[in-house]
């Protein structure tokens, strides 16, 4: 014969969920999103403008180099022509 | 002194079996409430029925409240159920949520569940449940009842 099981009344501890300032949090998120939405196109335009400026600087530098080479070659051609005339009486 | 634990008032069982309490009916009463308390109180599960009531005995102090979000008298239990499965009786309810999203509650450690429909003794307690410490500032406060229910009685 087994002993009757002992009765048991139990209160069960719940858990708590706290959502602090949900309205304030929502407002902050909306403000952040709005600020991002406002700033992002400007940021992209500024970045693109900076890339164009750097490309222009590179182009200017390349053109300067080309001009210098062209001038150097011109001077060399003139000197060569002058030497030819002197040598061959052209 | 501390809230400290989760228990069923023994007089909930005694009065139900003895039909002492004038009108407590866990199956049909519709005004069970969850009142919040700080850690200054020492609940007594063995207290006489009159001392398990809301705002009486150990429950007369230590109230934690927000006038509109979670008043001193507590928030109502929504969809309470009183059922038995095999050898386990369970009293359960939907999670209890503050009345608004701007509730501010100082540190609270537990709740007293009582029946606002009972008139003698008025607002008799069913149980008290402890969760450690929680607070909220201008937010939403939710008691997520244990998956096993608010309380069970196993025979």
Q: Which residue of B has its CA nearest to A25?
A: B139
Instruction: Provide the token pair at A45.
Output: 């335009």
Any domain includes B81: yes
Q: Do B145 and A14 touch (CB under 8 A)?
A: yes
What digits encode the pLDDT tens for the residues B115-130? 999 988 999 999 999 9
Q: Do A24 and B128 touch (CB under 8 A)?
A: no
Q: Which residue of A has its CA nearest to B104?
A: A20
The domain total for chain B is 1
Q: Is residue A3 within 8 angstroms of chain B, CB to CB?
A: no
For tokens 């606002």, what's the residue? B116
Q: Do B135 and A15 touch (CB under 8 A)?
A: no
User: Domain span at residue B108?
Assistant: 7-154
How is residue B104 annotated by DSSP?
A: E
Any domain includes B65: yes
The ipTM is 0.86
Any domain includes B35: yes
Cβ atoms of residues B51 and B120 within 8 Å: no
Any domain includes B11: yes
Any domain includes B1: no
Q: Do B8 and A9 touch (CB under 8 A)?
A: yes
Percent share of chain A, pLDDT over 70: 90
Percent share of chain B, pLDDT over 90: 88
Any domain includes B2: no
Any domain includes B137: yes
Handedness of CA B47, B53, B56, B60 (dihedral sign): positive
Q: What is the mean pLDDT of chain B?
A: 94
- pLDDT > 50? residue B61: yes
Any domain includes B131: yes
pTM for the model stands at 0.71
How is residue A71 annotated by DSSP?
A: H
């Amino acid at each position: 014969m087994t002993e009757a099981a002992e009765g048991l009344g139990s209160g069960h501890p719940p858990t708590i969920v706290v959502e602090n300032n949900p309205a304030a949090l929502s407002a902050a998120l909306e403000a952040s999103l709005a600020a991002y939405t406002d700033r992002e196109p400007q940021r992209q335009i500024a970045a693109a403008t900076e890339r164009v400026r750097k490309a222009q600087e590179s182009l200017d530098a390349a053109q300067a180099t080309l001009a210098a080479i062209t001038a150097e070659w011109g001077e060399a051609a003139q000197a060569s022509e002058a030497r030819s005339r002197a040598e061959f009486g052209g | 002194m501390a809230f400290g634990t989760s228990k069923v008032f023994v007089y909930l069982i005694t009065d139900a079996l003895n039909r002492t309490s004038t009108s407590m009916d866990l199956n049909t009463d519709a005004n069970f409430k969850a009142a919040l308390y700080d850690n200054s109180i020492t609940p007594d599960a063995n207290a006489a029925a009159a001392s398990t009531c809301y705002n009486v005995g150990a429950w007369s102090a230590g109230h934690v409240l927000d006038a509109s979000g979670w008043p001193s008298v507590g928030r109502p239990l929504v969809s309470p159920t009183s059922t038995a499965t095999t050898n386990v009786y369970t009293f359960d309810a939907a999670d209890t949520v503050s009345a608004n999203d701007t509730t501010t509650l100082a540190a609270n450690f537990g709740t007293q569940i009582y029946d606002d429909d009972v008139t003698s003794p008025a607002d008799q307690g069913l149980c008290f449940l402890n969760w450690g410490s929680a607070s909220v500032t201008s937010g939403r406060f939710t008691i997520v009842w244990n998956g096993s229910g608010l309380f069970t009685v196993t025979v």
